C-alpha cells in the first residue's frame, strides 16, 4: 500500500523565544496509506489540531517535514499552495465560516480559488452538495437561513468540492444530536467509498471512530502513543484510560467480562462483534 | 417535597422566521419537576427542549397554560427577578456567558445585579468558586481556561445567586471527555449535597443515566418519562425517536430477542457484565 | 500573528501603580496628556520623560511591552516626522533640489515624535496596570454626576467592559476563520489594494455574524443572571480613595503646573 502522506520527524513549537514557548508536537513520524480511513484520537493539548494544520501547509514545521505523494509540501510556494487543494481540511464547527449570499456560491469558493472554469465549478458544487447531504432546494438560499445541521453540511460540501485526495475532518459531529451524527457519519463513509479518498477523522468519541476507521492514531502530549487497527489499540485499554481517553462502551464491558473470567476478546469494540462472541459462548456451553 | 417547576397545559409557538409559517412548539404540555430531583431531558434537536427550559425562568412566556416555579407564576412581572434568581441557567457555549475579564468578577455579576452588599458578594463568590473547585483560579482570565473550567465558572456564577434550581442546556456539548466529567461531577455534587434541583438537557446517554429521572421529548410532547432504567430499556421507542441507546442495553435487548432471559434494565457496565457473567456461567 | 496585539491587555501585578485607584490613574493620565500638549522645550519634555520613566519603573512593566505598543504606529510617526522635517519654514540647515530642511523643522519633527511616543506609552501604562473592569468602574464613577442629565453612564461603562472582555475571544475567532478560509485556498497576501480588500469579505462576514450571535446569547445569559440595568447594582470591589491616590493627583497637578510655568520661560 502506498503512503500518500508522510510525516517525518515533525516538531512544532509555538511562541519560540517568549516565556510562552510551548512544544505542541515533538518528533512525530508516521505515514498515512492511500485510501485508508485513519482515526486521530487525543485529549485536548495532545497536538491534534496542530498536527492536522501541518498536513495542508497552514502551519510550518519547526523541524522535520511533511510529504505528499513523496514530495515535500514546502519545496516551493506553488507546492505549498497546491497542498491546500490536495488536502481538504474541515475545521470544528465549520458552519461558522459561511459567508456568501447563496449556498451555491459558498460551496463554490474553494473551486473558484483553484481557478476552475464555470461549468467545472458548477459540476463540482452539485456533486459535493449531494455527497454532503445538502438539500438541493437550499442552493439558492442564503446559508444563514438554514438550520445548524444543514449549515454544517454546506461547510463540508465547500471543502469536498475541491475534490481533494485527502480530507481531514476535525470533530465533524461535535454538537450534533445522535440522529444527525449517524447521518453525517454515513455520508462521510459513502463519500469515501465512492471517491476512494483518504480520510482522517479527529475525534473525542472512540465509539464513532472505532466503527469507521481502518487504523487509529493515538496522540498524547505531542507524541504518538499508538498506531494500529482498532483491535490492536483497544488491547491497551488500560494505557488509554491512563492518558485520559475513554474506550468504546462495548470494550469497557468486554474488558470486565474478561476480568470476570469469561473467554471473550477484551478488545471487542462493536455491538455486532459483541453479540457474535456472546452467542458463540452459548453455543459452546 | 413540593414541585420545583410545574408546567400546566403549556401552549407556545415560535414567531415565523423569514416569512415562513409560525412554528408551534407545545400544544398542551404537562410536566412537574420535584424539588431536589435530578432530571435529564432528551430529544432530537428541535423537539422543544431548549424552549421548555427558557419557559422555566421566564425568558419565554406561555401563550396558553401556565408555568410556575416554586409556586411563582412566570407571567407575574413583579416576581421576575425572584424567579430568575431562583432558577439559574447555564448554556452550551462557555464563552458567550462570560461578562468579565477576571473569574471572580464574572462570578460576582449576578449578586451585583441583585444589589447584594459588597462583603456578602465576596463571601458568595468564594463559596461558589469552592463549590465548583475553581477557587484557585479566582484572579485568572477566563478566556485562558479550558472549556470544562469555563463551564464550571459559569455554574459558579449561577450558584452565587443561591438558586433552588439550576437548568443546564447541553452544558457539555462543546467539551472534551475530561471537561464533561468535571461538569457532571460538579452538577451531581450540587444536587446530592446541596439539594439543588437540577434539570439537564443532554444528548449523551452516559450523562442521562446519572439522573433520577429521564424525560424524552418528541415534537413538543413527552414520549416517555421515568427512571433511567425504565426509559432506556424501551429500545425500539428510543431508536424511533432518533436517540442513542447505551451499548449495554442494546446487547441485552438483542440477546433477549434471541431467546435469552437477561434483566433488561442492567444499564451500567458493571451491572451488565455481572448479568452476562452469571448467565453464561450458570450452565456449569 | 494577531496575538501580538496588546490593545486592552492587562498585566496583573501588585505594585504601587497597580494599587492606585483607577479614578486617580484616569485623572492623572488626563493631566499628563494636557501637560504633554503644553510642552514647549527640552526641559518640559525632560520633565515628562522623567515622570514616565519613574512611573514605568514603579509599575515593573517591561519597557519592551511599551515599545511593542508603538509598533502599529511607526508609519504614522515617521510620516508626521517627515512632513514636519521638510515643510517647516525657518533657518535653512540643508538644501537639495526642491527640499529644504530647517533648524525649526528638525526641532519640530523631533519634539513631535517624542510627544507621540510619550503619549502612547503613557496611555498604555494606564491600560497595562489597570484591569478593564477597574477602568470602566473608575470611568463610571467619574462620569456619574452626568446621570443627573440622563446620560447613560452605566450602559456606557457596561458596553466598554464587555467589549474589552471580548477582544481576546474575537481575535481567537478571527484566527480560526482565517485558517478555515485559507484551507479553501483564500489568499490574503497577493494582489493590489482592491483585491486584498475584497479578500477580507470571507473573514469579516462570518466575524460579524458571529459577533451578533454572541451578543444575543450573552444578553440572554445576562438576563438569566438578573441583569436589569444599572439601578440597584452593587459592586464586588468598591473603589476606595486612599492617601496615595490624592498624592498621585497632586503630583499630576504639579507636573501640569510645572509645564505651564516653564512655557513662560522658553527661549
ipTM of the complex: 0.90
Q: Do A114 and C185 touch (CB under 8 A)?
A: yes
Q: Do B161 and C225 touch (CB under 8 A)?
A: yes
Beta bridge partners of B166: B88, B198
Radius of gyration of chain A measured on its C-alpha atoms: 20
Q: Do B97 and C217 touch (CB under 8 A)?
A: yes
Find out whether A239 and A218 touch, Cβ atoms under 8 Å.
Answer: no
- Rounded CA-CA distance B50/B90 in Å is 11
List the single range of B270-284, C2-16, C162-176, C179-193 with lowest mean pLDDT: C2-16
What is the number of H-type helices and E-type strands within chain B? Answer: 12, 10
Provide the sign of the torsion angle of the four alpha carbons B85, B91, B94, B98, taken in this order: negative
Q: Do A271 and B250 touch (CB under 8 A)?
A: yes
Provide the sign of the torsion angle of the four alpha carbons A263, A266, A267, A272, taken in this order: positive
Tell me phi and psi for residue C20, to 5 degrees.
Answer: -65, 145
Find out whether B232 and B246 touch, Cβ atoms under 8 Å.
Answer: yes
Q: Do B173 and A175 touch (CB under 8 A)?
A: yes
Closest residue in B to A280 (Cα–Cα): B280
Q: Do B276 and A178 touch (CB under 8 A)?
A: no
pLDDT of residue C89: 73
Cα distances from A254 to residues A58, A166, A167, B201, B260, in angstroms, run 41, 34, 33, 30, 18
Q: Do C183 and A158 touch (CB under 8 A)?
A: no
Percent of chain C surpassing pLDDT 90: 28
Cβ within 8 Å of residue C164, ≥6 positions away? B101, C8, C132, C135, C136
Query: To the nearest whole angstrom, how far is the Cα of C230 from the nearest Cα of chain B?
Result: 8
B81 contact C CB<8A: yes
Q: Please give chain B's pLDDT, 284 residues, in tens.
A: 578 899 999 999 987 665 567 778 898 999 999 999 999 999 888 888 999 999 999 999 999 999 999 999 999 999 999 999 999 999 999 999 999 888 999 999 999 999 999 999 999 999 999 999 999 999 888 888 999 999 999 999 999 999 999 999 999 998 888 889 999 999 999 999 999 999 999 988 889 999 999 999 998 999 999 999 899 889 889 888 888 888 889 999 999 888 888 888 888 889 899 988 888 887 54
**Distance between terminal CA atoms of chain A?**
42
pLDDT of residue A245: 84
Q: What residues of chain A score a pLDDT lower than 50? A: 284-285
Cα distances from A217 to residues A18, A46, A47, B212, in angstroms, run 31, 12, 12, 38
Q: Do A271 and B255 touch (CB under 8 A)?
A: no
Select from B247, B249, B254 the least CA-distant residue to B265.
B249
- Rounded CA-CA distance B146/B135 in Å is 15
Of A89, A99, A114, Cβ closest to residue C183 = A89
Residues from chain A contacting residue C187 (CB–CB below 8 Å)? 113
Site from A99, A159, A174 to mutate, C interface, most C CB atoms within 10 angstroms: A99
Query: To the nearest whole angstrom, how far is the Cα of C180 from the nearest Cα of chain B?
Result: 19
Of C180, C186, C202, Cβ closest to residue A91 = C180
C201 contact A CB<8A: yes
C-alpha cell at B111: 449578586
Query: To the nearest whole angstrom, how far is the Cα of B256 from the nearest Cα of chain C?
Result: 47
pLDDT digits (tens, 9 = 90+) for C210-251: 999 999 999 999 999 999 988 888 988 888 899 989 999 999
pLDDT of residue A1: 56
pLDDT digits (tens, 9 = 90+) for C76-103: 888 888 888 777 777 777 777 777 778 8
C235 contact B CB<8A: yes
* Chains within contact range of chain B (3+ C-beta pairs < 8 Å): A, C
- Rounded CA-CA distance B224/B221 in Å is 9
Number of CB pairs < 8 Å for A and B?
A: 93
Cα distances from B112 to residues B84, B160, C14, C225, C235, in angstroms, run 14, 10, 25, 10, 6
Find out whether B133 and B142 touch, Cβ atoms under 8 Å.
Answer: no
Residues from chain B contacting residue A250 (CB–CB below 8 Å)? 247, 251
Tell me phi and psi for residue A71, to 5 degrees.
Answer: -115, 135
Q: What is the mean pLDDT of chain C?
A: 86
- Rounded CA-CA distance A85/C183 in Å is 8
Of the pLDDT bands very low, low, confident and very high (cuts 50, 70, 90), residue C2 is very low
Residues from chain C contacting residue A162 (CB–CB below 8 Å)? 184-185
Radius of gyration of chain C measured on its C-alpha atoms: 23
Query: To the nearest whole angstrom, how far is the Cα of B98 from the nearest Cα of chain C?
Result: 7
Q: Do C133 and B113 touch (CB under 8 A)?
A: no
List the single range of B39-43, B114-118, C111-115, C202-206 with lowest mean pLDDT: C111-115
- Angle of helix C22-38 relative to helix C243-264, nearest 10 degrees, comes to 10
Find out whether A150 and A69 touch, Cβ atoms under 8 Å.
Answer: no
pLDDT of residue B45: 82
pLDDT digits (tens, 9 = 90+) for C124-139: 888 888 887 788 889 8
Residues from chain A contacting residue C217 (CB–CB below 8 Å)? none
C133 contact B CB<8A: yes
Find out whether B273 and A260 touch, Cβ atoms under 8 Å.
Answer: yes
Closest residue in C to A98 (Cα–Cα): C206
Radius of gyration of chain B measured on its C-alpha atoms: 21
Q: Do C224 and B115 touch (CB under 8 A)?
A: no
For residues B1 and C182, the model is more confident at C182
Query: To the nearest whole angstrom, how far is the Cα of A121 from the nearest Cα of chain C?
Result: 14
Q: Do B247 and A274 touch (CB under 8 A)?
A: yes
- Rounded CA-CA distance A92/C207 in Å is 16
Order of strands across the sheet that contains B64-69? B23-34, B3-14, B64-69, B72-73
Tell me phi and psi for residue C245, to 5 degrees.
Answer: -70, -40
Query: To the nearest whole angstrom, how far is the Cα of C205 from the nearest Cα of chain A?
Result: 6
Find out whether A160 and A88 touch, Cβ atoms under 8 Å.
Answer: yes
Closest residue in B to C237 (Cα–Cα): B118
Of B59, B95, B100, Cβ closest to residue C223 = B59
Beta bridge partners of B89: B167
pLDDT of residue C4: 47
Beta bridge partners of B69: B5, B72
Of C217, C232, C236, Cβ closest to residue B118 = C236
- Rounded CA-CA distance A88/A158 in Å is 10
Query: To the nearest whole angstrom, how far is the Cα of C181 from the nearest Cα of chain A?
Result: 7
Q: Do A113 and C186 touch (CB under 8 A)?
A: yes
Find out whether A67 and A80 touch, Cβ atoms under 8 Å.
Answer: no
Query: To the nearest whole angstrom, how far is the Cα of B10 from the nearest Cα of chain A?
Result: 25
C175 contact B CB<8A: no
pLDDT of residue C168: 85
Provide the sign of the torsion angle of the four alpha carbons A231, A237, A242, A248, taken in this order: positive
Q: Do C202 and A158 touch (CB under 8 A)?
A: no
Residues of chain A whose beta carbon is less than 8 angstroms from a beta carbon of chain B are 43-44, 145, 147-149, 174-180, 204, 207, 244-246, 248-250, 252-253, 256-257, 260-262, 271, 274-275, 278-279, 281-282, 285
* Strand bridging mode A215-220 / A37-41: parallel
Cβ within 8 Å of residue A205, ≥6 positions away? A173
Q: Is the pLDDT of residue C7 over 60?
A: no
Nearest 5°: CA angle at C216, between C213 and C217? Answer: 90
C180 contact A CB<8A: yes
- Rounded CA-CA distance B45/B199 in Å is 17
Select from A44, A45, A79, A85 the least CA-distant residue to A65.
A79
3-state SS, residue B21: coil
- Rounded CA-CA distance B37/B34 in Å is 6
State if pTM tops 0.80.
Answer: yes
Amino acid at each position: 500500500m502506498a503512503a500518500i502522506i508522510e510525516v517525518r520527524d515533525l516538531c512544532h513549537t509555538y511562541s519560540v523565544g517568549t516565556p510562552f514557548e510551548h512544544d505542541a508536537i515533538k518528533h512525530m513520524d508516521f505515514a498515512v496509506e492511500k485510501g485508508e480511513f485513519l482515526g486521530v484520537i487525543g485529549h485536548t493539548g495532545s497536538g491534534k489540531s496542530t498536527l492536522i494544520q501541518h498536513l495542508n501547509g497552514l502551519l510550518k514545521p519547526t523541524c522535520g517535514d511533511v510529504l505528499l505523494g513523496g514530495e515535500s509540501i514546502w519545496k516551493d510556494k506553488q507546492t505549498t499552495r497546491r497542498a491546500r487543494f490536495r488536502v481538504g481540511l474541515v475545521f470544528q464547527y465549520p458552519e461558522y465560516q459561511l459567508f456568501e449570499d447563496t449556498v451555491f456560491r459558498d460551496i463554490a469558493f474553494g473551486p473558484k480559488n483553484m481557478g476552475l472554469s464555470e461549468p467545472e465549478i458548477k459540476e463540482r458544487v452539485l456533486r459535493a452538495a449531494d455527497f454532503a447531504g445538502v438539500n438541493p432546494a437550499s442552493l439558492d438560499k442564503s446559508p444563514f437561513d438554514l438550520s445548524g445541521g444543514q449549515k454544517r453540511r454546506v461547510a463540508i460540501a465547500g471543502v469536498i468540492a475541491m475534490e481533494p485526495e485527502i480530507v481531514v475532518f476535525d470533530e465533524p459531529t461535535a454538537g450534533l444530536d445522535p440522529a444527525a451524527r449517524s447521518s453525517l457519519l454515513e455520508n462521510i463513509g459513502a463519500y469515501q467509498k465512492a471517491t476512494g479518498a483518504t480520510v482522517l477523522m479527529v475525534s473525542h468519541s472512540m465509539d464513532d471512530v472505532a466503527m469507521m476507521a481502518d487504523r487509529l492514531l493515538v496522540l498524547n502530549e505531542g507524541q504518538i502513543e499508538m498506531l494500529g487497527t482498532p483491535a490492536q489499540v483497544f488491547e491497551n485499554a488500560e494505557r488509554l484510560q491512563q492518558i485520559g481517553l475513554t474506550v468504546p462502551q462495548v470494550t469497557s464491558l468486554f474488558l470486565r467480562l474478561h476480568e470476570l473470567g469469561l473467554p471473550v476478546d477484551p478488545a471487542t469494540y462493536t455491538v455486532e462483534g459483541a453479540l457474535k462472541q456472546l452467542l458463540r459462548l452459548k453455543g459452546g456451553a | 417535597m413540593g414541585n420545583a417547576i410545574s408546567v400546566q397545559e403549556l401552549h407556545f409557538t415560535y414567531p415565523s422566521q423569514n416569512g415562513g409559517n409560525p412554528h408551534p412548539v407545545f400544544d398542551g404540555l404537562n410536566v412537574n419537576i420535584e424539588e431536589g430531583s435530578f432530571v435529564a431531558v432528551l430529544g432530537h434537536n428541535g423537539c422543544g427542549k431548549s424552549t421548555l427550559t427558557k419557559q422555566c425562568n421566564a425568558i419565554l412566556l406561555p401563550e396558553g397554560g401556565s408555568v410556575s416555579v416554586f409556586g411563582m407564576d412566570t407571567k407575574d412581572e413583579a416576581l421576575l427577578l425572584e424567579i430568575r434568581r431562583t432558577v439559574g441557567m447555564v448554556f452550551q457555549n462557555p464563552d458567550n456567558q462570560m461578562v468579565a475579564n477576571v473569574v471572580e468578577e464574572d462570578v460576582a455579576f449576578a449578586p451585583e445585579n441583585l444589589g447584594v452588599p459588597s462583603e456578602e458578594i465576596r463571601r458568595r463568590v468564594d463559596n461558589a468558586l469552592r463549590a465548583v473547585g475553581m477557587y484557585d483560579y479566582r484572579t485568572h482570565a477566563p478566556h485562558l481556561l479550558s472549556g470544562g473550567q469555563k463551564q464550571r465558572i459559569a455554574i459558579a456564577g449561577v450558584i452565587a445567586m443561591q438558586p433552588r434550581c439550576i437548568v443546564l442546556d447541553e452544558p457539555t456539548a462543546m467539551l472534551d471527555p475530561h471537561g464533561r466529567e468535571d461538569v457532571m461531577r460538579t452538577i451531581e455534587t450540587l444536587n446530592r449535597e446541596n439539594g439543588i434541583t437540577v434539570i439537564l438537557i443532554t444528548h449523551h446517554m452516559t450523562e442521562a443515566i446519572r439522573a433520577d429521572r429521564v424525560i424524552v421529548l418528541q415534537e413538543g410532547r413527552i414520549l416517555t418519562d421515568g427512571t433511567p432504567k425504565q426509559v432506556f430499556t424501551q429500545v425500539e421507542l428510543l431508536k424511533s425517536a432518533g436517540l442513542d441507546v447505551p451499548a449495554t442495553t442494546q446487547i441485552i435487548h438483542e440477546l433477549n430477542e434471541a431467546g435469552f432471559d437477561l434483566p433488561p434494565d442492567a444499564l451500567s457496565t458493571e451491572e451488565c457484565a455481572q448479568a452476562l457473567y452469571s448467565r453464561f456461567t450458570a450452565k456449569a | 500573528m494577531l496575538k501580538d496585539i496588546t490593545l486592552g491587555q492587562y498585566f496583573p501585578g501588585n505594585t504601587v501603580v497597580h494599587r492606585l485607584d483607577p479614578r486617580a490613574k484616569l485623572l492623572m493620565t488626563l493631566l499628563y496628556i494636557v501637560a504633554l500638549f503644553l510642552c514647549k522645550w527640552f526641559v518640559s519634555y525632560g520633565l515628562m520623560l522623567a515622570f514616565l520613566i519613574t512611573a514605568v519603573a514603579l509599575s515593573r512593566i517591561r519597557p519592551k511591552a511599551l515599545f511593542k505598543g508603538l509598533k502599529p504606529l511607526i508609519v504614522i510617526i515617521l510620516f508626521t516626522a517627515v512632513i514636519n522635517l521638510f515643510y517647516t519654514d525657518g533657518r535653512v540647515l540643508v538644501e537639495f533640489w526642491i527640499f529644504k530642511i530647517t533648524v525649526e523643522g528638525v526641532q519640530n519633527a523631533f519634539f513631535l515624535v517624542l510627544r507621540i511616543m510619550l503619549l502612547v506609552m503613557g496611555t498604555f501604562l494606564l491600560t497595562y496596570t489597570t484591569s478593564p473592569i477597574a477602568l470602566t468602574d473608575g470611568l463610571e464613577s467619574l462620569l456619574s454626576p452626568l446621570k443627573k442629565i440622563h446620560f447613560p453612564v452605566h450602559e456606557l461603562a457596561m458596553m466598554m467592559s464587555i467589549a474589552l472582555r471580548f477582544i481576546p475571544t474575537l481575535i481567537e475567532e478571527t484566527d480560526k476563520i482565517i485558517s478555515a478560509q485559507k484551507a479553501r485556498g483564500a489568499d490574503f497576501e497577493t494582489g493590489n489594494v482592491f483585491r486584498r480588500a475584497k479578500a477580507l469579505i470571507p473573514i469579516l462576514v462570518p466575524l460579524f455574524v458571529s459577533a451578533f450571535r454572541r451578543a444575543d446569547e450573552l444578553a440572554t445569559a445576562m438576563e438569566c443572571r438578573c441583569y436589569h440595568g444599572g439601578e440597584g447594582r452593587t459592586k464586588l470591589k468598591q473603589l476606595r480613595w486612599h492617601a496615595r491616590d490624592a498624592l498621585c493627583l497632586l503630583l499630576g497637578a504639579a507636573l501640569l503646573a510645572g509645564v505651564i510655568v516653564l512655557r513662560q520661560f522658553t527661549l
